Amino acid sequence: MSDEVIVNANEQFNCSNCNLSLIGQKYILNDEKPYCVACYESKFSHTCELCKEKITCDSKDLSFKDKHWHERCFFCSVCQASLADKPFATKDNDLYCPECYDEKFSPRCDGCKKIFRAGSRKYEYKGSTWHEECFTCIECKQPIGAKSFVPKDDGVVCVPCYEEKYSQKCCKCNKVSEINLLSCST
């Protein structure tokens, strides 16, 4: 026995919706039922989020979270670069390429005002955020990193600079005094 399907010349092959003969016509199967192109598009085609037109059988239907776009309508809302087959982000129903999304929505360094790229270190202090290289001592301008610091005016001072410029020193040995001590015990 063969797996071939033999259609009797007397059998009808019609659209499941409008009953139009599909012999010699283009058709689409949906749930194993044949539909003429017009019926398929009116019943099953999605509407494009951008242009609000039906996405027909001769167009590519791109979808994300139950929303659909023509391939030609699937582009960054800022730079208009095509996002078909590329990474993208969404916000408030708009599509963005990664670069435009970062530029528009990523947090920025309070020092240099540039965005934080994925994987970059950031430091937070008193509600502000800095790149590692922007969180610096106001005296020596060197990055603080994970080292200790002392708040001073609107900035921070690394411990060596603070001890050198602001700490009280013993009048006998000139070493940095301990808290509330005016001289060393010699």
Decide if 34 is inside a domain: yes
Q: Mind giving me the DSSP string for 81-145? A: -B-TTS--EEETTEEE-HHHHHHHHS-B-TTT-PBPPTT--EEEETTEEEETTTSB-TTT--B-T
| Mean per-residue pLDDT, 9-22 | 80
Residue 170 pLDDT = 74
- What number of CA atoms fall less than 13 Å from residue 19's CA on the CB side? 0
Q: How far does Cα 117 stand from its chain's mean position?
A: 11
44-75: per-residue pLDDT in tens?
A: 999 999 999 999 888 899 989 989 999 999 99
Decide if 27 is inside a domain: yes
19-37: per-residue pLDDT in tens?
A: 888 888 888 888 889 989 9
Would you place residue 181 in the very low, low, confident or very high pLDDT band (cuts 50, 70, 90)? very low
Decide if 31 is inside a domain: yes
Decide if 154 is inside a domain: no
Would you place residue 110 in the very low, low, confident or very high pLDDT band (cuts 50, 70, 90)? very high
Q: Which segment of 115-119, 145-149, 166-170, 178-182 scores lowest on mean pLDDT?
A: 178-182
Neighbour-count burial of 15, counting CB atoms closer than 10 A to its CB (0-12 exposed, 13-18 middle, 19+ buried): buried
The fraction of the chain above a pLDDT of 70, given in percent, is 88
Decide if 17 is inside a domain: yes
Decide if 110 is inside a domain: no
Number of domains in the chain: 1
| Mean per-residue pLDDT, 129-140 | 92
Specify which residues 35 forms β-bridges with.
28
Decide if 29 is inside a domain: yes
| Mean per-residue pLDDT, 127-154 | 90
Tokens for 123? Answer: 């430091």
First vs last C-alpha separation in the chain: 110
Q: Which domain holds residue 36?
A: 12-44
Residue 178 pLDDT = 57
Residue 2 pLDDT = 37
Decide if 163 is inside a domain: no
